[in-house]
């Protein structure tokens, strides 16, 4: 069996013809006798947990378990699925991993994660964030613990809003569009000014508009999913995206929010608003520290005045690979992480905590307040193992956006093509 595994790993390496990132861990602490020195390898994602949390957590854990060293490694989101695939297939995977909530179903269905159904209550199960619950289960079993969630809000420059005479944050689409017009009028002399930076492939933002219209990306019949991007609701969401982009944005229509990093564009000071995640304020502040105090946030407005649009509840789960050699220790680690002390630190860092319903610590900043206001209206993408391929491969939603925004395709053609591509990916 070992031989076959080696063969398969070798074959994969060649078949894919890409230099895989090695898992890098070479420790062979396979014995689980207490007292012997052991290493617990923990992979968390870049930007997920503040160092105030991880430092204290790792120290407390090492203190409570004699002879145990926590090997804490920070991974980058970019390309994480490939890296996890390689790591989980290796003989020596990490012991605790963080996964995007849209990726969990895939890894669970491939039976690479440890079944945690029996541990829910010891991991604060009754306090878990409901919006992430679907993404933790596969085939009726629990394969992960929710870590945190965050959703997009509109981040804006309070000083520019004031200068343009906007007194209150928009609470409907119409007010939002009106604010864009006012900002443009007030900054007409600057040709580089953008009232709202909205790159053409910001598909998480598009999800909000589609959901706000009552549509969805895909529908399920039992375990089979079919795309629903060609519905009237989805088309209306796409129309609004175009309206918004044309009203206030000069961003490229053929790239997403990461190329270039939208927070860095905002950091240059020529942009009044963008739809972003809480920690992007920090990214922008690297270029201009004063932005930290000048940035406010409001929930993405709905077409119904006074309501907020549903938002994509982006977030992370933590799981234990089935191949972990320290499963008992890994469970202990998760238990400690799910305790209120560390969940509060998570909220202080600006995320919605995953295993605690208490968000009091979150509401202390304007961005946190907007986050807490819209999080209950959060939704997730279809919970199917096939969804991971939509994001890591060729995302039909991005193609649809670019094709329609640049005028390469009509709305019917763009949504029809994307829907066919999406159905195909979700179907197999």
- x/- mask, other proteins, residues 247-266, rule CB under 8 A, reads ---xxxxxx---xx------
Of the candidate residues 14, 51, 140, 167, the single one contacting other proteins (CB under 8 A): 14
**Residue nearer to other proteins on the CB measure, 28 or 394:** 394
Determine the interface stretch with other proteins among 173-181, 228-236, 288-296, 388-396 (rule: CB under 8 A): 388-396
Q: Which of residues 120-179 bind other proteins (CB under 8 A)?
A: none
Q: Does residue number 105 form part of the binding site for other proteins (CB under 8 A)?
A: no
Instruction: Kindly state the smallest distance separating residue 257's Cβ from other proteins, in Å.
Output: 14
Determine the interface stretch with other proteins among 144-152, 219-227, 287-295, 391-399 (rule: CB under 8 A): 391-399
Q: Does residue number 21 form part of the binding site for other proteins (CB under 8 A)?
A: no
Of the candidate residues 48, 300, 398, 415, the single one contacting other proteins (CB under 8 A): 398
**Residue nearer to other proteins on the CB measure, 47 or 323:** 323
Q: Which of residues 308-347 bind other proteins (CB under 8 A)?
A: 322-323
Residues in the interface with other proteins (CB under 8 A) total 51
Q: Does residue number 191 form part of the binding site for other proteins (CB under 8 A)?
A: no
Q: Does residue number 239 form part of the binding site for other proteins (CB under 8 A)?
A: no
Instruction: Kindly state the smallest distance separating residue 142's Cβ from other proteins, in Å.
Output: 18
Q: Does residue number 82 form part of the binding site for other proteins (CB under 8 A)?
A: yes
Of the candidate residues 27, 406, 410, 427, the single one contacting other proteins (CB under 8 A): 406
* Spatial contact of 126 and 100, defined as CB atoms under 8 Å apart: no
Q: Does residue number 187 form part of the binding site for other proteins (CB under 8 A)?
A: no
Q: How many CA atoms lie within 13 A of 187 on its CB side?
A: 24
Interatomic CA distance for residues 187 and 311, integer angstroms: 30
Four-residue CA torsion sign, 76, 377, 385, 3: positive
Determine the interface stretch with other proteins among 9-17, 131-139, 168-176, 278-286 (rule: CB under 8 A): 9-17
Of the candidate residues 5, 219, 243, 286, the single one contacting other proteins (CB under 8 A): 5
Determine the interface stretch with other proteins among 57-65, 131-139, 210-218, 385-393 (rule: CB under 8 A): 385-393
Instruction: Kindly state the smallest distance separating residue 412's Cβ from other proteins, in Å.
Output: 15
Interatomic CA distance for residues 358 and 335, integer angstroms: 17
Q: Which residues bind other proteins (CB under 8 A)?
A: 1-2, 4-5, 7-18, 81-82, 85, 88-89, 106-107, 109-112, 250-255, 259-260, 322-323, 388-389, 392-394, 396, 398-399, 402-403, 406, 408, 417, 421
């Amino acid at each position: 069996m070992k031989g076959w595994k080696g063969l398969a790993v070798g074959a994969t390496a060649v078949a894919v013809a890409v230099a895989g990132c090695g898992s890098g861990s070479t420790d062979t602490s396979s014995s689980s006798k207490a007292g012997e020195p052991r290493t617990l390898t923990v992979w968390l994602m870049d930007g997920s947990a503040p160092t105030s949390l991880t430092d204290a957590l790792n120290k407390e854990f090492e203190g409570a378990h004699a002879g145990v060293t926590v090997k804490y490694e920070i991974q980058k989101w970019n390309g994480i699925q490939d890296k996890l695939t390689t790591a989980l297939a290796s003989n020596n995977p990490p012991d605790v991993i963080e996964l995007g909530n849209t990726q969990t179903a895939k890894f669970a269905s491939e039976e690479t994660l440890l079944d945690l159904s029996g541990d829910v209550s010891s991991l604060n199960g009754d306090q878990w964030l409901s919006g992430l619950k679907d993404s933790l289960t596969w085939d009726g079993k629990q394969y992960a613990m929710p870590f945190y969630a965050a959703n997009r809000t509109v981040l804006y420059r309070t000083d520019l809003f004031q200068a343009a005479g906007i007194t209150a944050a928009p609470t409907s689409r119409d007010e939002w569009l009106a604010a864009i017009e006012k900002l443009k009028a007030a900054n007409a002399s600057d040709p580089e000014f953008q009232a709202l930076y909205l790159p053409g492939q910001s598909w998480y933002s598009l999800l909000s508009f589609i959901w706000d219209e009552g549509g969805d990306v895909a529908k399920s019949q039992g375990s089979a999913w079919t795309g629903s991007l060609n519905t009237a609701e989805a088309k209306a969401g796409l129309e609004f995206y175009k309206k918004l982009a044309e009203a206030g944005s000069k961003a490229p229509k053929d790239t997403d929010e990461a190329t270039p990093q939208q927070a860095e564009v905002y950091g240059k000071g020529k942009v009044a608003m963008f739809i972003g995640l809480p920690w992007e304020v920090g990214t922008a502040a690297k270029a201009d520290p004063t932005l930290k105090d000048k940035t406010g946030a409001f929930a993405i407005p709905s077409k119904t005045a006074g309501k907020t649009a549903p938002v994509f509840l982006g977030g992370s789960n933590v799981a234990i690979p089935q191949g972990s050699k320290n499963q008992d220790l890994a469970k202990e680690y998760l238990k400690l992480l799910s305790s209120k002390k560390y969940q509060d630190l998570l909220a202080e860092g600006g995320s919605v905590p995953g295993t605690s319903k208490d968000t009091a610590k979150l509401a202390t900043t304007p961005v946190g307040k907007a986050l807490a206001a819209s999080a209950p209206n959060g939704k997730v993408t279809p919970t199917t193992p096939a969804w991971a391929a939509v994001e890591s491969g060729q995302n039909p939603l991005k193609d649809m956006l670019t094709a329609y925004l640049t005028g390469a395709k009509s709305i019917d053609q763009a949504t029809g093509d994307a829907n066919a591509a999406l159905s195909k990916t979700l179907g197999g």
